[in-house]
Amino acid sequence: MDFIITILEQGLIYGILALGVYITYKILDFPDLTADGSFPLGAAVSASMITRGVNPYLTLLAAFAAGALAGICTGLIHVKGKVRDLLSGIIMMTALWTINLRIAGTSNVPIFSKETIFKNSFLENFLPEALLPYRTILVIVILAVISKLLLDFYMSSKSGMLLRAVGDNDKLVISLAKDEGNVKILGLAIANGLIALAGCIFCQEERVFEISMGTGAIVIGLASVIIGTSIFKNLTMIKATTAVIIGSIFYKACTAVAMRNFEPQDMKLITAVLFLVVLLVSMDRKKKVKSHA
């Protein structure tokens, strides 16, 4: 039971990250490596604010804002500086390493004794006794559902439709008398905001900030997006955002099962191999190349 709950917790947290990656990879068609930096950015913001005694729930908003700012920087480098999309992300990812260290102070910030969004006097006073053991998963479910619903709402708005259009056909956006660069920057801001939010929640769940916690975040995000969208591609009633979160839980379950038989240092290799398997099975790349031809 604990095993399953841990998978759900991690899967849902990374599900929020996957929502962000879904925006860049699927909607904007932008291979955004900023994720590897904005995920720990959210964690660094969260850890440094919590050690200063700020209300942990406020750190969620602050992390989102910080991530959005990182996304805007990537967007500006790409749109205004005319740097290739992949390189813009790499530049920001590299820069963020130092920025994260500066924000957190050191490469490792434990927040074990502090109040977090999962463990605080408010929850202890108001949550029924019976639910207390499940408070972590409860809070995570609520946050993931809110993120998903807000993103769904945004995607069906006029601004969201323009965002979907820009990845599909940026000429059309220009024809609609809108600056396609600004729309891209907006998309990157929302995506990296969500990714940083996931980092913030992850940091509080693990009760520690670790500078290298973002390494490979983009791989996990991409794998979740690809699994989710290819499992449910024929079911139109399931929204892509839901599919992506389920994909993330599925991916976390696969790694968790695999990790039972391996050492912790094998983690990254398993992540990489699983991602490759997902790619080969889903054949997502071929479809993408074809539809862009």
Partner 1 sequence: MLELKNIYKYYNPGTLNEMCLFQDYSLTVEDGQFVSVVGSNGSGKTSMLNIICGSIPIESGSIVLDGEDITKEKEFRRNQRIGRVYQNPAMGTCPSMTILENMSLADNKGKRYGLGRGTNKARISHYQELLRPLNLGLEDKMDVKVGSLSGGQRQAMALLMSTMTPIEFLVLDEHTAALDPKTAEIIMELTDKIVREKKLTTIMVTHNLRYAVEYGDRLVMMHQGENVIDCAGAEKQAVSIDDILVKFNEISIECGN
Contacting residues toward partner 1, per CB under 8 A: 154, 156-162, 164-165, 168-169, 171-180, 291
Judged by beta carbon, residue 52 or residue 82, the one nearer partner 1 is 82
* Residue number with CB closer to partner 1 (1 or 293): 293
CB closer to partner 1, 159 vs 212: 159
Identify whether the C-beta of residue 199 lies closer than 8 Å to the C-beta of residue 86. Answer: no
Residue whose CB is less far from partner 1, 90 or 162: 162
Looking at beta carbons only, is 24 or 204 nearer to partner 1?
24
Q: Minimum CB separation from partner 1 for residue 22, in Å? A: 13
- Give the 3-state secondary structure of residue 177: coil
219 and 192 Cβ atoms separated by less than 8 Å: no
User: Using an 8 Å Cβ cutoff, are 28 and 185 in contact?
Assistant: no
Per DSSP, the three-state class of 110 is strand
Q: Measure the CA–CA gap between 130 and 127, rounded to whole angstroms.
A: 8
Please report how close the Cβ of residue 230 comes to partner 1 at its closest, in angstroms.
Answer: 16
Min dist CB 15 to partner 1, Å, is 22
Q: How far apart are CA 131 and CA 126, in angstroms?
A: 10
Query: Which lies closer to partner 1 via its Cβ, residue 176 or residue 269?
Result: 176
Pick 12 or 165: Cβ nearer partner 1: 165
Name which of 197, 236, 210 is nearest 20 in CA terms: 197
**Least distance CB 110 / partner 1 (angstroms):** 40
Least Cβ distance, residue 38 to partner 1 (angstroms): 23
Q: Which residue type sits at 165?
A: A
Tell which residue, 210, 192, 191, 216, has the closest CA to residue 47. 210
Q: At its nearest, how many Å lie between partner 1 and the CB of residue 176?
A: 5
Largest CA distance in the chain: 59
Shortest distance (Å) from residue 167 CB to partner 1:
8
Q: DSSP letter for 29, please.
A: -
The C-alpha atoms of residue 75 and residue 188 are separated, in whole angstroms, by: 6
Between 106 and 291, CB nearer to partner 1: 291
Q: Which residue from 199, 197, 38, 206 is spatially nearest to 110, judged by alpha carbons? A: 206
Name the residue among 239, 194, 227 with its Cα closest to residue 21.
Answer: 194
Distance (Å, whole) CA 292 – CA 185: 22
Residue 69 to residues 10, 73, 96, Cα–Cα distance (Å): 25, 6, 11
CB of 182 to partner 1, least distance (A): 9
Report the alpha-carbon distance of residue 234 to residue 17 in Å, rounded. Answer: 24
